[in-house]
Amino acid sequence: MLASFMKIGSILTALALPFTQNTVLTRPNQMETSAGKNFHQFKMKTIDGKEIDFSQFKGKKIVVLNTASKCGYTPQYADWEKFHQANKDIVILGFPANEFGGQEPGTNAEIATFCQKNYGVSFQMMEKVVVKGGEKCELYKWLTDKNQNGWNEKEPSWNFCKYVINEKGELVNFFASGIKPTSPEFIAALNK
């Protein structure tokens, strides 16, 4: 009986996925509370173990992606690399994560090799992190807790969700997996 319920749950999740892949959230114009912390206060490690102080990104827009190497959205690496080459003034940070279908099982070294070999990724890849649930890293806690970022509680719904940070280090948008850098909603958000 439990197996039947689990199977039904898996089917319902699969059916719901197409309806959430194009979700777009934008920070309200009039926020009641302000965030106590901003993006520029974080320090994290790159995929090759070097620490980056995010304060170096003050004055730049930042796109944070949770990535995976064995996902139907993995070809977005090529889209984001093309975007990166055309928009050097916008910082892209890729965070490999394994929470969705175990689609990023590799080590940091394996992920780095995969990204370079298959997609020529030159935007900044970060070390593998947890992006959903109780064990998520501090950055994703900030991105998904309105008490910390001021308005958003949306966790990544699958691989290749995007969070956009403005020049002041404030979270301003969430885009689900189906939104690409060429999507009108994404382009409009970056032009604000």
The catalytic residue positions are: 71
157 exposed, middle or buried (CB, 10 Å; 0-12, 13-18, 19+)? Answer: middle
Tokens of 61: 């827009």
Q: Are 124 and 80 in contact (CB under 8 A)?
A: no
End-to-end CA distance of the chain: 52
β-strands 62-67, 43-45: how paired?
Answer: unpaired
Is there a contact between 37 and 142 (Cβ–Cβ < 8 Å)? yes
Q: Measuring CA to CA, how many Å separate 126 from each of 50, 131, 140?
A: 9, 12, 13
Tokens of 99: 């929470």
Given a contact cutoff of 8 angstroms between Cβ atoms, the answer to whether 156 and 137 are in contact is no
